[in-house]
Amino acid sequence: MANIKISDLTAASVAADANEFEINEAGTSKKVTGAQIKSYVNSGDGALASLNTVDTAQIDDGAITTAKLDADAVDGTKIADDAIDSEHYAAGSIDAEHIATSAVTAPKVAGADGSSGQVLQSDGDGTMSWFTLAAGGGFSNMQVFTSPGTWTNPGTVEKVKVTVVGGGGSAGTAPSYNTGSGGGGGGAAIEVVPFPTATNVTVTVGGAGGTSSFGAYTSATGGSSATPAPGNPVGKGGAAGTGSGGQVNIGGQGGTHSNSGKAGTGGSSILGGGGLGAAGSGGTFPGPSGGNYGGGGGGGIGSDNPASGGTGAPGVVIVEY
């Protein structure tokens, strides 16, 4: 083969097994074929033909850049568990669209789950902890007693607000050709009662003129019935009931006296409802009953026959918790 400069040669389209190449072997020029070079490369240490994968030993540090990776080429199956921590997330790179539904649970935020009813609060140092709210924030439940019974604590209530109203007094009977007086309104008491959980309280609800109570904490007497006045067949209105044991104790309204041709009105309780005196002429007109809880009955109008007075309305006990 003549000595020709390599740069003067025409470039081959491809390298083939039959191509010949000049080599220096111990100072002597010899030739090898493309097939010999291929065999040597494939059979030597670290032979390329035997490499099905490339591990970190074959990759120089920093050799693989973002530009070398196809879009979406690295997914969850290519990342070892716990391999990516907060240091590998760019600020703002994870938004709501990248968080699966229900993926962030309470233990992920506070390190552990809290107890029923607890809320999370900041500790001021970047951490969160569970916190039990103190009792308060007003009352959200109400139980109304219109007959005797027992208020049963659900087990978590530490205080209640109680409104107790006594029964209204009944009106007096109107004599013939006369009018009757009204009954007195029931008293009332309002109290916020603190007591231990799991405490049950007996509730009494007064009928007409009767006393209502919430255990031994607070009570309210009923209004009195109208009575005849000495030497006067028409009579006088019933006295009002009173409250006791509450932070606020409220007396009812007394029944009004009757006068010639006009029946007395029943006294109202804190909830109103005193019965109006009967109205009419030329006949017998019974008195109306008390309207709302604790309202006194209204007086009637008699003619040939006496007229009955209205019955006082029963009391009530309202428990808010």
Q: Which DSSP letter does residue 193 get?
A: E
pLDDT band of residue 249 (cuts 50, 70, 90) is very high
pLDDT computed for residue 254 by the predictor: 96
Exposure on the CB side of residue 173, measured as CA atoms within 13 A: 6
pLDDT computed for residue 46 by the predictor: 47
The length of the chain is 321
pLDDT computed for residue 32 by the predictor: 81
Is it the case that residue 310 has pLDDT exceeding 80?
A: yes
d(CA 10, CA 162): 110
pLDDT computed for residue 315 by the predictor: 98
Is it the case that residue 233 has pLDDT exceeding 70?
A: no
For 145-186, what is each residue's pLDDT tens digit?
A: 999 999 999 888 889 999 999 999 999 888 888 888 999 999
Residues 6+ apart with CB under 8 A from 199: 153
Q: What value does the mean pLDDT of the chain take?
A: 84
**E strand map for the chain:** 20-25, 28-33, 119-122, 128-131, 142-145, 149-151, 159-165, 188-194, 201-204, 212-214, 218-220, 227-229, 232-236, 243-244, 248-250, 316-320
For 177-220, what is each residue's pLDDT tens digit?
A: 888 899 999 999 999 999 887 889 999 999 999 999 999 999 99
Which region among 99-103, 113-117, 127-131 has the lowest average model confidence (pLDDT)?
99-103
For 9-38, what is each residue's pLDDT tens digit?
A: 787 777 788 877 778 888 888 888 878 877
Contact 255, 171 (CB under 8 A): yes
d(CA 139, CA 1): 109
Copy the structure tokens of residue 78: 């290519």
Tell how many helices (H) and how many strands (E) occur in the chain.
2, 16
pLDDT computed for residue 49 by the predictor: 53
pLDDT more than 90, % of the chain:
40
Burial 93-107 (b: 16+ CB within 10 A, else e): eeeeeeeeeeeeeee
pLDDT computed for residue 136 by the predictor: 57
Residue listed under structure tokens 């006082």:
312
Copy the structure tokens of residue 314: 């029963």
pLDDT computed for residue 52 by the predictor: 58
